[in-house]
Amino acid sequence: MTVEVRPLELGDAAAWRTLFAAYGSFYETEFTDEVLDRVWGQLTADGSGIDALVAEIDGRVIGLAHYRSHPDTFTGHRDWFLDDLFVVPEARGDGAATALIERIAAIAATTATGGVLRWITAADNDRAQRVYDRVATRTTWVTYEMRL
């Protein structure tokens, strides 16, 4: 089985919706149809500031990654942020998560000078952290949220 990573396409709407809803469920969040429609619209709009990749095995979409770039005030370069990464449970361990991260890093490397790719995960998401520990450096930053 070979994992293929490519940009999200309009024809991926149904597969993306299923994957993103499952991603929400993984984090105990049920996305409404309104939220799914709004996020899909952002991902497919030119110049929205957020992009998406999908991972396929044998032509079946089995994973997704949403990412964006932003100015970094510490370096003056552009940094990158991986917002969402999800692979269906039956395909975990097949290299899709690593392939998606590596593709974003490659995109960032060809469009920016310097900078970093960052992401967060739940403290109890041990399986994902095993992948992340292999491909990146764990930081000591603590994340806070303020609902608006």
| E strand intervals along the chain | 3-7, 51-57, 60-71, 78-87, 117-119
Structure tokens at 75: 């370096």
What distance in Å separates the CA atoms of residue 5 and residue 105, rounded to the nearest whole number? 13
Residue 3's DSSP bridge partners are: 57
Residue 87's DSSP bridge partners are: 63
pLDDT digits (tens, 9 = 90+) for 43-85: 999 999 999 999 999 999 999 999 999 998 988 888 999 999 9
Q: Is the pLDDT of residue 114 over 80?
A: no
Q: Is the pLDDT of residue 20 over 80?
A: yes
Determine the pLDDT at residue 75: 84
pLDDT digits (tens, 9 = 90+) for 118-142: 999 999 999 999 999 999 999 999 9
Query: How distant, in Å, are the alpha carbons of 3, 13, 71, 125 from that of 128?
Result: 17, 25, 27, 6
Structural contact between residues 128 and 136, judged by C-beta atoms closer than 8 angstroms: no
pLDDT-derived band of residue 111, with 50, 70 and 90 as boundaries? confident
CB atoms within 10 A of CB 79: 19
Structural contact between residues 51 and 43, judged by C-beta atoms closer than 8 angstroms: yes
pLDDT digits (tens, 9 = 90+) for 95-108: 999 999 999 999 99
Q: Is the pLDDT of residue 112 over 80?
A: no
Structure tokens at 69: 């770039």
Domains of the chain, CATH where assigned: 3-135 (3.40.630.30)
Q: How many helices and strands (H and E) does the chain possess?
A: 4, 5
